[in-house]
Structure 1
Amino acid sequence: MPTTAASSRRRRSRLYRVTAALVVFVAVACYMALQYLSGNRGSPRCTVGPSDGGEGRTYTLSPEQAANAATVSAVGTTRGLPERAVTIALATALQESALRNIDHGDRDSLGLFQQRPSQGWGTPGQIMDPVYSSGKFYDHLVDVPGYSRLPLTVAAQRVQKSGFPQAYAKHEPDAALLSAALTGREPASLTCSSAAATAPGPGDAAEVRADLVRAFGRSVLPPAPSSAGAAAASTVSVPVPTEDGGASRRGWELAHWAVARAGTLRIDQVSYAGRVWTADTGWRTEREDSGSESVRMRLVH
């Protein structure tokens, strides 16, 4: 039979543990309440989902991941490749690097697709360039006969030659949703919160134009204005063709690219076809801006 003193010690020990747990719980609750009241409700994030804001599958990722995904998509569509190719590329990058441009990996693997300089994918500097590494992935993908009709895991594995080929499959639903938005196909839409705040300082129109050309090619933009006034310095306008007098898939592709790259390029507003995006409000309809002839990007100033 345990002594009365031993029983008392066990009761006190349990009481201390319960009290400590309650203290931790109250501290966490107070911290979350303070974060909510101060307006700091989480780190910046991007969400892709139904364009009308209704019910449907959604996928959340960081601004860094969204920016890299936008580059992967732009390189693919600029080559005239179908949405399926972009989906395969995005699923591959999600598995290989979680869509982060990392400078390490298995052996000498680098970048979004974990390509290896020793295996002829390019120099380390080239592979760490998302435009270059995306292009090299597509170079190999299009050499796979019938890649667009193959299961995603098979197509990706023919390019990557991974030790875990089935791992690509789990990323296909998210990659398909993301590629639908980034290639401009309805009903998917991409929005980012607090994206412009992720990079300090004012936006640079020349930097935005250079990034557009690197991703989409020189034909994406008209010749630069000979003299840049205040409006030209704070806004980049990209002309797009209309379809049946209305918004085009190309227009929404460019608009979503701008939203995804907003944090990197310090874009605080994107407008196209009567809809306007800001980091604070997301996408909203603005009837006074009903034109669909260009995508306009207003920079942080």
Structure 2
Amino acid sequence: MARSIPPVRRRRSSVLLLGAAAAAALLLYLLVMASGRDEVRPVRERCTATVSGASWSLNPDQAVNASTITAVAVARGLPPRAASIALATAVQESGLRNLNYGDDAGPDSRGLFQQRPSQGWGAQEQVMDPVYAANAFYDALVEVPGYQDLPLTVAAQTVQRSAFPDAYADHESEGRAFASALTGQTPAALGCTLGPAEAAGDPDTVLAAMSALYGEQQAMILGEVLVVGASGEYGWSLAQWAVANAKALNINDVSYDSRTWTRGNGAWSESDAPAAQVAIKTAPAPAGSG
């Protein structure tokens, strides 16, 4: 008489087959998801200054503050050394962040330079304004005899009177690199890698922001493009200011002096851009925004 196969063995075989199929399906799913993540992985947004073979990076908000500090120096006709000192100081004091609280130097310290209203730097709302704070720093710096020739930490400490006077020197190379790029001394030195703009840009808004820092510009607007007449280092200062502010102002491309920067790859590339015009192309309205 033939023996029948115990039911339990049939169930076990079915379970094993189902388990193998599930494992294969899970593996396929994970592979598909992994390949999809490669395509949609968010961009790590950074602004990098590369000067003399060395590179330094900031996030976009820090880059905006660095560009503001430097633009104030350019508008005042100060040498790049002044911007280097100011930037190194702001990195040490606040990490180039506009802090609405104090550090160990005093509970009322505020802003990019941690300036204290109780020490005569101005009201809290004033030192929280990056343009006011930068001007206040430069007002004090230019009163330091021979500041351009002093060691950076000595010049900064004379202005700041910090409890850590030697710390400014730690940021001298970084301050010099961003100052060199943002004053226009080093062409095409500042690039920002950014994700797609989240809203449409406005050339009028870009021009207003630029003029508020640098003064009135010779400019015209052609559709989504702001064209500013400029040349030499000043043109490069404007162009790299626009790159530093590309995320905040929804700028897609900046062209000047045979180079064009685009936010997608963050780099400057060769182009036919004229040497006497800075062209700043703002982002169109995102698809589906109505």
TM-score normalised by the chain length of structure 2: 0.80
5 Å matches for 1:178-217?
Answer: 178-186=178-186, 189-194=189-194, 197=197, 200-217=198-215
1:258 equivalent in structure 2: 242
Is residue 35–residue 41 contact of structure 1 (8 Å, CA) maintained in 2? no
Q: CA deviation at 1:205?
A: 2.1
Verify the 8 A CA contact 2:88 2:171 in the aligned structure 1: yes
Q: Is the 8 A contact 2:192 2:267 kept in 1?
A: no
Paired position in structure 1 for 2:218: 222
Given that 1:195 and 1:262 are in contact with CA atoms closer than 8 Å, whether structure 2 keeps it comes out as no
2: CA distance, partners of 1:269 / 1:96: 32
Offset of 1:57 from its aligned partner?
0.7
Secondary structure of the residue that 1:192 maps to in structure 2? Answer: strand
Equivalent-residue separation in structure 2 for 1:35 and 1:69 (angstroms):
36
Offset of 1:97 from its aligned partner?
0.4
Which residue is 1:119 aligned to?
A: 119
Say whether 1:103 aligns with 2:100: yes
Residues 48, 59 of structure 1: 8 Å contact kept: yes
* CA deviation map 1:224-264 (0-9, x unaligned): x6xx7xx34x22111013xxxxxx11111111000001111
Please state how far the C-alpha of 1:281 moved relative to its aligned partner. Answer: 2.3
Change (3 A) 1:175 1:298: same
1:281 alignment partner in structure 2 = 265
1:161-188 per-position Cα deviation (integer Å, ceiling 9, x unaligned): 1100101010001111111111111266
Give the superposed CA RMSD. Answer: 2.2
Number of aligned residue pairs: 250
Task: State the 1:217 CA deviation.
Answer: 1.5
Change (3 A) 1:196 1:148: farther
Answer yes or no: is the 8 Å Cα contact 1:108–1:118 preserved in 2.
yes
SS at match of 1:113: coil
- For structure 1, the residue ranges without an aligned partner over 5 or more in a row are 1-29, 242-247
Structure 2 residue identity aligned to 1:46: C
Structure with greater Cα Rg: 2
Deviation string 1:103-125 (CA, Å, 9 cap, x unpaired) is 11131111100111222211222
Match of 2:17 in 1: none
Query: In the alignment, does 2:222 pair up with 1:239?
Result: no
* Secondary structure, counterpart of 1:38 in structure 2: helix
8 Å contact from structure 1 (residues 196, 267) kept in 2: no
1:139 aligns with 139
